[in-house]
Chain A
C-alpha cells in the first residue's frame, strides 16, 4: 500500500519553477531515495510535503488522505516527521529538552514525554549527552539530534534530508545503521542523500530529479545505469559499473 503519493507536484517561486510536475509513490515499509544535483528541487519537494512551502499545484496524499495545504504542525500530528538539511537544533535547550519538546506531540505530561525522549535518545545513541546544550554538539550529534526529534513524534513516515552529510567514515557507518534500524521499526523512510554509499546501498527504490523534473525511477542499479542520471549526476565512474 502506498503510504505517500506525490502527484503532479509543482512549486513556483515567482518566475522560477523549482519543482515541475513530479509524481512518485512511496510504499509502506520501504526506504525510498531521492537523488539529484544540488538545486534540483529535492529539499523543495520535502518542504512541499509538509507544507513548509505552500504548493503551487499538485497533491500530496498520505495514508489515503489528501493533505495538500495542511498546516505543517498538523502534518506532523498525522504522522510525517522530518529533518532539515541545514540542521536546526534548539540551541539553548538541552538535548533531552529538545526531544522532550518533540515528544509532547504524542504525550500529555512532562514525565511521559521525558521518558519517551530518553528512549529515543538511547535509540539514537545520544543518551550520554542528554544534559548538554544542543549548541555544544558537534555535527554528528546534531544530525542525530535532528533525527531523534523527528522520531519522538512517532512518525509513520520520516523524511531524512541529507542526514549523512558532513560525517566522517566511521560516523557514516553509524548513520547507515541508524536508518536501517528506523526502517526495522516499521517506519517508512524517504531519504535525500548525495553520498552514494548511503543511498545506493540502503534504498529499495530511487527517484532521480534534475532541474525540478523527474529523470528516472527504479531500483538502485536501474537508476545508476540510466543515461540521463549519469549525465546529470553520477559521473562516468558509476556508469562503468564500479562498486560504491
Chain B
C-alpha cells in the first residue's frame, strides 16, 4: 500500500516536473537521468538478474544512435525511425554477440563484451563512408523545446522498467535468476540456458539500442568517441546498476539519478560553489563510491535499504 502511494507520488512529480521547473538546464539533467534509467535497467536485466555481466553495453547504445543518425543523413528518413530500427538492429547484433560470448562465463564474458564495445567503436571510427568517422553525425533537432524530448524519454523509461518488472515476475524471471545462481544446475533442471541467456540479452539490447537512438534525436550530434564509449556508456551503466542495486527493479532508476546528479555536481564544481579543480574529480568520486557500495552496501541503495535505514537513518532501532 505504502509502495503504491510512493509510486503514484513519483508519477505525479515526474509528469509535472518540466511544467514547473522551466529551466533548460534542469530539464536536461532530468532527461539524462531518465536515459540512464533505461540503460541501467536494461543492463541490470542481463547482468543483475541473469548474471551475465556485460562491460560492453555501449555496443548497443552506439548501434541505436548510429542507426538513427545514418537513417537521417544517408537515407533522408526521420531519425525517430531509428528508435524502432535501432532497437531491432541492436537486438540482431546482440544475437551475434551472444553467440560468440555466451560460451564464456564470468570475467571472461565481461572481457569479451568489453572487447565487443571497443570493436564497434573502432568500426564506427574507421568506416567513414558509412558513419562519417570521427567527424560524427549532425542532424537537425525536431523540437526546439525540451518538453517533447522529456516526455518521450519518460515514457520510454516507464516502458522499460515496466516490461522488466513483468518479465521478472514470470517464468522467465525464475529462469534468469536460476541461470545466474548456477548455470549447470539450471541446465540439469531442464532450463535451456543458451536460449534464456539470449532472451535476456535481446530485451536488454533492444532497450539500450532505443536509448541510443533517442540520444541521437535529442543531442542532434553523435560521434564514436561518445556513443561507443567504454567510460561514458559501458562503465556508467555498470555504476548505475551497482550503486542503485543490481537485481532490483527500481535500483537502476535510483542509481541513475544518483550518478547523474553526482556527475553533474562535480562537472559544474558544485554548481559553481567549489574551486575549479573539483570539476575533474568526478571519476575519483565514482571510484570511491563504488568501493564503498561494494564493501558496505553490496545490494545497492535499493537492495540494502533496510540496512541503510538501520545504520544511517537510525529508523527501526529499539533504543
Question: What is the distance, in angstroms, from A47's C-beta to the closest C-beta of chain B?
Answer: 10
CB atoms of B170 and A110 under 8 A apart: yes
The yes or no answer to B185 lying at the interface (CB within 8 A) is yes
Given known A-B contacts A90-B178, A93-B177, A153-B189, A104 and B184 have beta carbons under 8 A apart:
no
Per-position contact with A for B151-191: 1 when CB-CB < 8 Å, else 0? 00000000000000000001100110110011011111111
B188 touches A52 (CB 8 A): yes
Q: Is the CB of B142 closer than 8 A to any CB of chain A?
A: no
Which residues of A lie under 8 Å from residue B174 when comparing CB positions?
97, 100-101, 104
* Chain B binding surface, main DSSP class: helix
Interface residues of A toward B: which range?
20 to 34
Q: Which residues of B contact A71 (CB under 8 A)?
A: 192
Bound Cα distance from A72 to B192, whole angstroms: 8
Residue in A91, A105, A108 whose CB lies within 8 Å of B190: A105
Contact partners of A90 in chain B: CB under 8 A: 177-178, 181-182, 185-186
Which of A3-11, A76-84, A190-198 forms part of the interface with chain B? A76-84
List the B residue with the shortest CB-CB distance to A114: B174
Number of A-B contacts (CB under 8 A): 75
Residue B205 at the chain A interface, CB threshold 8 Å: no
Hey, which chain B residues are within 8 Å of A73, CB to CB? 187-193
Given A101-B174, A104-B174, A149:B185 Cβ within 8 A: yes
A88, A109, A110: the one within 8 Å of B185 (CB): A88
Q: Kindly list chain A residues whose C-beta atoms are within 8 Å of the C-beta of B185.
A: 84, 88-90, 149
Contact A82 B188 (CB under 8 A): yes
What is the CB-to-nearest-CB distance from A10 to chain B, in angstroms, rounded to a whole number?
22
Expressed in whole angstroms, the Cα–Cα distance for A150 and B187 within the complex equals 11
1/0 per residue, CB under 8 A from A, across B179-214: the answer is 001101111111111000000000000000000000
Q: Which single member of B184, B186, B190, B193 contacts A77 (CB below 8 Å)?
A: B190
21 examples of A-B residue contacts, CB within 8 angstroms: A72-B188, A73-B191, A73-B193, A76-B187, A81-B188, A84-B185, A88-B182, A88-B184, A92-B177, A100-B174, A101-B177, A101-B186, A101-B189, A104-B174, A104-B190, A104-B191, A105-B190, A105-B191, A109-B171, A152-B189, A153-B190
B residues near A (Cβ < 8 Å) are 170-171, 174-175, 177-178, 181-182, 184-193
A interface residue numbers (CB < 8 A to B): 50, 52, 71-73, 76-77, 81-82, 84, 88-93, 97, 100-102, 104-105, 108-110, 113, 149-150, 152-153
**Nearest 8 A/B pairs, CB to CB:** A105-B190, A76-B190, A90-B181, A88-B185, A101-B174, A102-B189, A72-B187, A88-B182
